[in-house]
Chain A
């Protein structure tokens, strides 16, 4: 029976090639996007799958004011493992702050990022320890466990076990990204003994280049090299806590204890209200966004958004299938009639049509898997994916999931047509061998509705993509309020800036050199500082961001000075005397006319240090453009200890490469250890908007797909309308209708659908897009031209398709048609 169904289905697909191609093409491109999302989820699910006790491992989370943090207070581990041994078999803590730095062995000095970890780490997790003893590797203070890769880098062919390495903390984190607060100072942590080598090539959410025993911390604290506190319950940013629960104990059993502890610790405190929750190990990598997470990952919210987009495209393709199947009920009605008279029950006909759609789904899967190769390569090229560990290899389980998915898609697409087609009464289906007339009944309403929905989705996607594109363009063109052209920013990495600046200034092409604690507009941040003057004496909460700059900074970046003067060229190295404010900060201090702030003495910081305001700058954008507000206050302070970057301005006539090679040469001469780290300012600012290009890339692709799919659908429907009306066309032509009359007659039915879609989508798109645009202080207006352009694109593609079909039908030779009747 099933063999018979499949045979008939195949013959049908071959016979109606246009429809088969439309269906398979539409379904396969949309399925490919869904497969990509499945692949994404699957690869994320695989993370941490190698830990044998994974079902019993949970991570404890802190929640404050509805915001969840992946980190917990340091004392929590001890409390749990000592007092509740009947529930908690083991507890492992990994300290959250970074021991990032240079690991030195002999002449070899390599920047690596590591973590402090409890001695039980290898008992709970199954990281593959290829050398060393799992039970003792992280026991003793000043033990270090290297990963296989870092060991090879550092030691080459030498056996690292038992060797001593030096560790220099320069504030490098595990992602290899600069810390937001740039630690410019190096801290020599001490000599460490290599006690283990671990192969961490299996995907885990815990990433590290090396691990240092947690027992090292107390001695570092004693030496003043760390501020970790093992009894401070208020600081819940400090450590990640993993519990190994006893066999048979569930998260539910532990939760009351966590609640109790939170109550005991925080009940009496007024301004701290922390609660603890848990998360199973297998969920960690796919869970919702947490603050202060242990590493970068794709939060489940992103996957939801992608899945939503994927489903829209998929639904659109399914609509095509439904639409075309309904339209084709015409040609299938005789078959249904005959089968039913020969004794087929409704469910049998139903199954036959469902089988057909599943077959189409499976065929589409084959095409989709091919497309997936292309698509996944494109996806991996996205900016955001450089931070993720994506493993897109295939395996049998994944393949089964794909097949299951395609069957599901087949069912989804086929269930409506199948139930409609199988409902035909045999007498009616046979009596009218030209079929049930197209254009009557519930089928038609449904079809029209689906066409409208497709129009809506396309229009929404087109307008949204256009708006995001113009917003990105706007941000790219936006004036920051300083001149970023012909500037190279380099990271000092501990270099003495005075000496180096002096070296650089010997090059005549270098116009100016300044120093700052972060580079404005690139997401850097030096901290907030409290402000007070006579107007705001009662208000102790006024705070402003600050940036540490030298006296060359303002002229070098060509920041407009509104009033007063710049820092004098001779400044004391230590006691802070002067500050420069921006206009927003002046307003914050209660000056309606910002210029009046100049000359005033204000107090800044916790210690209320009195300083004199000597200058006022215009409001320039110092935060990320996407985050910045025009009213963000800023204090420019002269704090040489905080300088972390050099801003080198060179002549527009000089070539960037020659300047760079000069700088590099000087750098190498002065710092034998660190490699030069620099950014060309213009490119760096553009790079801060990289997430936008990802979004445009994704949305553009999705809108392209929805348009393609809905165009295909229209093509099918138009072809069928023309087909089903060929008798009418012939009769009209016999009576003198011209091609253009008939074309108009056939096409006009789509116009109301188009208009309905426009009427529905324009307000919807306006609303949706205003929603996200609200998040930006600097934003474009939702211009009517966006909608005009979007509607234009839709109109052109839609009616181009329809006309191609109706024109050919209208110009067909007429007698041939009539004879066939």
Chain B
């Protein structure tokens, strides 16, 4: 088992009322799964993803990741955990505008204390694998949306994560570009990477092995 959520609640207080963002979520994810999270806007998809990614806290419940109880971990340990095992892909790509493609790919490695030579090899490997060697010195603004997201995925993969969390990875792309990214995910999944994606598109959800539907913070 890669991770398990047990009775997860998350809420915010607004005007004296408690508004639930996540309500009693139970979920277990095995290694090698490809899960699509679906639901209308505001149903808690992104929140769930952030909770799984340990970027966001929850108020109640238990969360085990590789048998580590995340809910009991200190901030520093949590960040070490996600740093090591989780890669993120965003709808808006979130590449750093001031860095070249090469530097964007290198950035996560800097925080994982790889040596210079190792970083060089890993980035070169990734550029090669995604066929973007020729673009390594360009800045994100010089790339198309599809290319930017390709770099985004490459960046998520470079630390060799066990789990990729993708928040509407094709949301800003046209259908052809989107298809390419989804094919890429499928390929990665075959190679053994666990993927959880949030999506609006039925078609994209089909790429996954399992679909989770959310409505008002609840699994349906």
Q: Interface residue tally of chain B, by bracket?
A: 20 to 34
Q: Does B2 contact A (CB under 8 A)?
A: no
Q: For residue A606, give the distance in angstroms from its CB to the closest CB of chain B.
A: 85
Closest residue of B by beta carbon distance from A331: B97
Contacting pair A1 B90 (CB below 8 A): no
Contacting pair A427 B79 (CB below 8 A): no
Query: Which residues of B lie under 8 Å from residue A339 when comparing CB positions?
Result: 96, 107, 111
Contacting pair B112 A343 (CB below 8 A): yes
Q: State whether A341 and B55 are in contact (beta carbons under 8 Å apart), knowing that A4-B110, A427-B50, A430-B90 are contacts in the complex.
A: yes
Q: Does A682 contact B (CB under 8 A)?
A: no
Contacting pair B94 A345 (CB below 8 A): no
In the docked arrangement, what's the CA distance between A430 and B111, Å? Answer: 19
Contacting pair B108 A342 (CB below 8 A): yes
Q: For residue A547, give the distance in angstroms from its CB to the closest CB of chain B.
A: 77
Q: Which of B78-120 contact A (CB under 8 A)?
A: 79, 82-83, 88, 90, 92, 94-96, 98-99, 103, 106-108, 110-112
In the docked arrangement, what's the CA distance between A337 and B155, Å? Answer: 15
- Cross-chain contact of B96 among A1, A338, A343, A348 (Cβ < 8 A): A338
Q: Does B74 contact A (CB under 8 A)?
A: no
Closest residue of A by beta carbon distance from B83: A343
Q: Does A591 contact B (CB under 8 A)?
A: no
Q: Does B76 contact A (CB under 8 A)?
A: yes
Main secondary structure of the interface of A (DSSP, over half): helix
In the docked arrangement, what's the CA distance between A202 and B76, Å? Answer: 59
User: Among A7-15, A399-407, A785-793, which stretch is in contact with chain B?
Assistant: A7-15
Q: Does A334 contact B (CB under 8 A)?
A: yes
Q: How many A-B residue pairs have CB under 8 A?
A: 51
- Cross-chain contact of B55 among A12, A15, A427, A433 (Cβ < 8 A): A427
Q: State whether A427 and B56 are in contact (beta carbons under 8 Å apart), knowing that A339-B107, A345-B76, A348-B111 are contacts in the complex.
A: yes
Q: Does B146 contact A (CB under 8 A)?
A: no
Most A CB atoms within 10 A — which of B53, B56, B95, B111? B111
- Cross-chain contact of A343 among B90, B94, B95, B111 (Cβ < 8 A): B111
Query: Which residues of B lie under 8 Å from residue A430 when comparing CB positions?
Result: 90, 94
Q: For residue A616, give the distance in angstroms from its CB to the closest CB of chain B.
A: 85
Query: Which residues of B lie under 8 Å from residue A337 when comparing CB positions?
Result: 94
Q: Does A344 contact B (CB under 8 A)?
A: yes
Q: For residue A812, give the distance in angstroms from its CB to the closest CB of chain B.
A: 23
Query: Which residues of A lie under 8 Å from residue B50 when comparing CB positions?
Result: 427
Q: Does A335 contact B (CB under 8 A)?
A: yes
Closest residue of B by beta carbon distance from A433: B92
Q: Does A426 contact B (CB under 8 A)?
A: yes
Instruction: Please count how many residues in chain A sit with their CB below 8 Å of the partner chain's CB atoms.
Output: 23
Contacting pair B98 A344 (CB below 8 A): no
Q: Does B39 contact A (CB under 8 A)?
A: no
Contacting pair B99 A8 (CB below 8 A): yes
Q: Which of B176-208 contact A (CB under 8 A)?
A: none
Closest residue of A by beta carbon distance from B158: A342
Closest residue of B by beta carbon distance from A9: B98
Contacting pair A11 B98 (CB below 8 A): yes
Q: Does B169 contact A (CB under 8 A)?
A: no
In the docked arrangement, what's the CA distance between A712 and B96, Å? Answer: 29
Contacting pair A342 B111 (CB below 8 A): yes
In the docked arrangement, what's the CA distance between A335 and B107, Å? Answer: 11
Query: Which residues of A lie under 8 Å from residue B106 when comparing CB positions?
Result: 4
Q: For residue A734, give the distance in angstroms from its CB to the closest CB of chain B.
A: 26
Contacting pair B103 A4 (CB below 8 A): yes
Q: State whether A15 and B110 are in contact (beta carbons under 8 Å apart), knowing that A341-B55, A341-B88 are contacts in the complex.
A: no
Closest residue of A by beta carbon distance from B47: A427
In the docked arrangement, what's the CA distance between A344 and B95, Å? Answer: 15
Contacting pair A343 B98 (CB below 8 A): no
Q: Does B159 contact A (CB under 8 A)?
A: yes
Closest residue of A by beta carbon distance from B156: A342
How would residues 109 to 148 of chain B score, 1 for a CB under 8 Å from any chain A CB and 0 otherwise? 0111000000000000000000000000000000000000
- Cross-chain contact of B111 among A7, A15, A344 (Cβ < 8 A): A344
Closest residue of A by beta carbon distance from B56: A427
Query: Which residues of A lie under 8 Å from residue B107 when comparing CB positions?
Result: 4, 339, 342
Q: For residue B178, give the distance in angstroms from its CB to the closest CB of chain A.
A: 21
Q: For residue A14, give the distance in angstroms from its CB to the closest CB of chain B.
A: 9
Contacting pair B83 A338 (CB below 8 A): no
Most A CB atoms within 10 A — which of B76, B96, B112? B96
Query: Which residues of A lie under 8 Å from residue B112 when comparing CB positions?
Result: 343
Query: Which residues of A lie under 8 Å from residue B96 when comparing CB positions?
Result: 8, 335, 338-339
Closest residue of A by beta carbon distance from B79: A345
In the docked arrangement, what's the CA distance between A337 and B92, Å? Answer: 13
Query: Which residues of B lie under 8 Å from residue A427 when comparing CB positions?
Result: 50, 55-56
Q: For residue A377, give the distance in angstroms from its CB to the closest CB of chain B.
A: 40
Query: Which residues of A lie under 8 Å from residue B83 when comparing CB positions?
Result: 343
Query: Which residues of A lie under 8 Å from residue B92 when comparing CB positions?
Result: 433
In the docked arrangement, what's the CA distance between A345 and B83, Å? Answer: 10
Query: Which residues of B lie under 8 Å from residue A338 when comparing CB positions?
Result: 94-96
Most B CB atoms within 10 A — which of A12, A341, A348? A341
Closest residue of A by beta carbon distance from B99: A8
How would residues 330 to 358 of chain A score, 1 for a CB under 8 Å from any chain B CB and 0 otherwise? 00001101110111110010000000000
Contacting pair A8 B98 (CB below 8 A): yes
Closest residue of B by beta carbon distance from A339: B107
Query: Which residues of A lie under 8 Å from residue B111 when comparing CB positions?
Result: 339, 342-345, 348
Query: Which residues of A lie under 8 Å from residue B108 when comparing CB positions?
Result: 342-343
Query: Which residues of B lie under 8 Å from residue A4 when comparing CB positions?
Result: 103, 106-107, 110
Contacting pair B76 A343 (CB below 8 A): no
Q: For residue A686, give the distance in angstroms from its CB to the closest CB of chain B.
A: 59
In the docked arrangement, what's the CA distance between A418 and B55, Å? Answer: 21
How would residues 161 to 182 of chain B score, 1 for a CB under 8 Å from any chain A CB and 0 otherwise? 0000000000000000000000
Query: Which residues of A lie under 8 Å from residue B98 when comparing CB positions?
Result: 8, 11-12, 15, 335
12 A-B pairs whose Cβ atoms sit less than 8 Å apart in the complex: A4-B106, A12-B98, A338-B95, A338-B96, A339-B107, A344-B111, A345-B76, A345-B79, A426-B55, A427-B55, A427-B56, A430-B90
Q: A338-B95, A338-B96, A342-B111 are in contact. List 20 more A-B contacts (CB 8 A).
A: A1-B110, A4-B106, A4-B110, A8-B96, A8-B99, A11-B98, A15-B98, A335-B96, A337-B94, A338-B94, A339-B96, A339-B107, A342-B108, A343-B79, A343-B112, A345-B76, A425-B55, A426-B55, A427-B55, A430-B94
Seen from chain A, the residues whose Cβ lies within 8 Å of a Cβ on chain B are 1, 4, 7-8, 11-12, 15, 334-335, 337-339, 341-345, 348, 425-427, 430, 433
Q: What 10 pairs across the A-B complex have the smallest Cβ distances?
A: A343-B83, A342-B108, A343-B111, A11-B98, A344-B111, A338-B94, A427-B55, A427-B56, A341-B88, A1-B110
Seen from chain B, the residues whose Cβ lies within 8 Å of a Cβ on chain A are 50, 53, 55-56, 76, 79, 82-83, 88, 90, 92, 94-96, 98-99, 103, 106-108, 110-112, 155, 159
